[in-house]
Amino acid sequence: MPTTAPTPTASGPHYRVEVLDPHSHRFAVSLTIHRPSAKQRVALPVWIPGSYLVREFSQHLLNVRAEQAGQSVPLRQLDKNTWVANSSPEAPLVLRTEFYAFDPSVRTAWLDASRGFFNPTSLCLRVLGQEDLPHTLELAENTHTKGWQVATSLPPLKTKRSGFGSYRACGYDELADSPVELGRFWSGSFKVRGVPHRFVVSGAGAWFDGERLLRDTQRIVETQIAFWHGTKDKPAFDRYVFMLYATDDGYGGLEHRHSTALIAKRADLPRLPGPDATPGATEPALKATDGYTQLLGLISHEYFHTWNVKRLRPAEFKRYDYDRENHTELLWFFEGFTSYYDDLLLRRAGLITPAVYLQLLTKTANQVLQTPGRAVQSVAQASFEAWTKYYRVQENTPNATVSYYTKGALVAACLDLTLRAEGHSTLDDVMRALWQRCAGGPMKESDLLAVLRQLGRRDFGADIAAWVHGTAELPLADKLRALGLQATEEPAALAQRLGLRVTEGSGGIAIKTVLHGTVAADAGLAAGDEWLGIELSPLNEGGDPESWRVHKLDEVVMYLGPRRHLTTLVARDKRLLRLALAWPAPATSLKIALPTAPADGAPWKTWLG
């Protein structure tokens, strides 16, 4: 049905977005400022909240011109993302812009003949001085958008059944936080506690099982709302939209107050039963390695952010500064704790088994243990330096940094298991108490410490200092054992033993990263090397030396036999090098599992729901 809502009373900025040319990937945007100031300034954001990197969206601005009363107005660029119009306050000021949109990620904008997507931070100039006035967004139809639909979480003013029309935002912050999906897409919906949730999927085939995705997402939503608000209260929002773009190869998400934008591999979507399926057969149980498990974890992660970072958020994010980096040391809490709960709440929703959850936790633990940078950078430092390090991945990143996602998740696990073992509270209770203490708004680390002291009945300052602000190893294995679970060692993968991160193929073994303190580093191997072959000394006295071409690390093991030394043949900058390598000693990784004989009433059962 078409939708109509009251027009905002204040004459704030009005944006009209239109598909200009899908083949050259151009949007046209006109901005009407009804009451401009003399010499009105406008600016385009340089970053988007939730993705902590200055991305310079103005690089995609193709042109901008201004006019008043039908006459051209001089426009001068002040810096990389700010312009001033030689305007007067006596007539509306109109700025006409064009933007190039060919980034398929969730962070910017995309346009081709089959689909459009944009975050307003990529297309909508901020009117300085009018950020808190009501804003309107008009999505215009034309011949390029015939048969298309619109999905956005913005409240409608006057829209057609397709969704084209006008929407309102209470200010620029809400506009910036409301991505828009355009095109032909699958759509489904459900309600939880009276709150409508819509799910749209672009890029899927007719084989896609939308009903299963919708059903599983609803279970995630119900579990998370109950987590934060108990069994009766309504959530802190009145609408929500999931926007998923299914592509050949991609993964990621970006959270918003009333929506999320997601990307996943098309092959990871749930599928309708094939021609050989048994009629009435139950859906197979999810495994930790399933792409669909990963997709559900992504959905859970971004939805949890609706509370944890979009409302309960760092004090530094009380008001975003769109023109520069917004530093905080708390991403280990907002991203890390969200990463802890995303899979845990899949388990509590009944979508994965306890064993599968522990496999996912094992993967996270080993990702941290296999990162030498954990001894170099604290997770608080990692949070603060996200702008310069986390999103600028290069060959030395694992040696110099630690992820505030993965280590933050393990900090959350250690806190939760500690609270449960000491018998006074749980991290679930802490999160809810933080929500109440901070009124679902800005928080500081001191708020977390205060709640931990209150509910845990002791001072947790030393724990946070060691786990968050220090680089000591986390006591995860001991905490798991104390809860009655198995935390044992198993042989590490060969690449980890050698200290390499590689890709293997017909051309050879391409070395992506060499980890510090390993035999590969001692041998002089370097990122960018192509490992072509090996030379081996005779296995027996009087025997012949051997030389072998290799394409996979497993082939090195096969040719090496019982020997402990070899010479690697690598290509570096077109030169062939011979580097002596000593075979590494056996190494282990962590394995977390259920006990072989679970006891009745074991504390881990309550933890895993």
- The string over 40-79, giving b where at least 16 C-beta atoms fall within 10 Å of a residue's C-beta and e elsewhere, is bbbbbbbbbbbbbbbbebbebbeebebbbeeeebebeeee
Tokens coding 262: 């997601």
Contacts of 395 (CB under 8 A, 6+ apart): 512, 513, 514, 527, 528
Find the helix or strand (DSSP H, E) in which 150 lies. strand 149-152
Q: Residues 342-355: pLDDT tens digits? A: 999 999 999 999 99
Give every strand in the sheet of 109-111, ordered side by side: 109-111, 115-118, 180-183, 149-152
- Residue 322 to residue 315: CA distance in whole angstroms: 16
pLDDT at 9: 43
- Residue 313 to residue 362: CA distance in whole angstroms: 28
Q: Reply yes or no on whether the pLDDT at 374 is more than 80.
A: yes
The mean-pLDDT minimum among 12-16, 60-64, 312-316, 504-508 falls in 504-508
Residue 309: which of 255, 345, 382, 386 has the closest Cα?
255
Tokens coding 195: 């709150």
* Mean pLDDT, range 304-319, rounded to an integer: 98
Q: Residues 459-509: pLDDT tens digits? A: 999 999 999 999 999 999 999 999 999 999 999 999 999 999 999 988 889
Handedness of CA 558, 563, 564, 568 (dihedral sign): negative
Give, to the nearest 10 degrees, the angle between helix 427-437 and helix 210-229.
Answer: 70
* Mean pLDDT, range 439-462, rounded to an integer: 98
* Mean pLDDT, range 136-159, rounded to an integer: 98
pLDDT at 3: 54
Specify the amino acid at residue 134.
P
pLDDT at 275: 84
* Mean pLDDT, range 90-102, rounded to an integer: 97
User: Would you place residue 90 in the very low, low, confident or very high pLDDT band (cuts 50, 70, 90)?
Assistant: very high
DSSP state of 162: T
Q: Reply yes or no on whether the pLDDT at 68 is more than 80.
A: yes
pLDDT at 1: 47
Can you tell me whether residue 165 is helix, strand or coil? strand
Residues of the chain above pLDDT 90, percent: 93
pLDDT at 274: 86
Contact 505, 530 (CB under 8 A): no
Q: Residues 585-597: pLDDT tens digits? A: 999 999 999 998 8
- Residue 473 to residue 204: CA distance in whole angstroms: 43
Specify the amino acid at residue 452.
L
Give, to the nearest 10 degrees, the angle between helix 337-348 and helix 354-369.
Answer: 160
Contact 534, 578 (CB under 8 A): no
pLDDT at 326: 98
List the alpha helices (DSSP H) in 441-575: 445-456, 461-467, 476-482, 494-498, 519-523, 553-560
User: Would you place residue 201 in the very low, low, confident or very high pLDDT band (cuts 50, 70, 90)?
Assistant: very high
Q: Residues 32-41: pLDDT tens digits? A: 999 999 999 9
Can you tell me whether residue 86 is helix, strand or coil? coil
Backbone angles phi, psi at 26, to 5 degrees: -120, 130
* Mean pLDDT, range 17-23, rounded to an integer: 98
pLDDT at 304: 98
Q: Reply yes or no on whether the pLDDT at 6 is more than 60.
A: no
CA distances from 585 to 398, 494, 498 (A): 21, 11, 9
DSSP state of 184: S
Backbone angles phi, psi at 63, to 5 degrees: -165, 160
Mean pLDDT of the chain: 96
- Residue 438 to residue 423: CA distance in whole angstroms: 25
- Residue 366 to residue 346: CA distance in whole angstroms: 21
pLDDT at 10: 52
Tokens coding 499: 């200290």
Q: Reply yes or no on whether the pLDDT at 8 is more than 70.
A: no
For residue 129, how far is the Cα from the chain centroid?
Answer: 32
Q: Residues 257-301: pLDDT tens digits? A: 999 999 999 999 999 998 888 887 788 899 999 999 999 999 999
**Other C-beta atoms within 10 Å of 247: how many?**
13
* Mean pLDDT, range 560-587, rounded to an integer: 96
Between β-strands 149-152 and 180-183, what pairing exists: parallel, antiparallel or unpaired? antiparallel
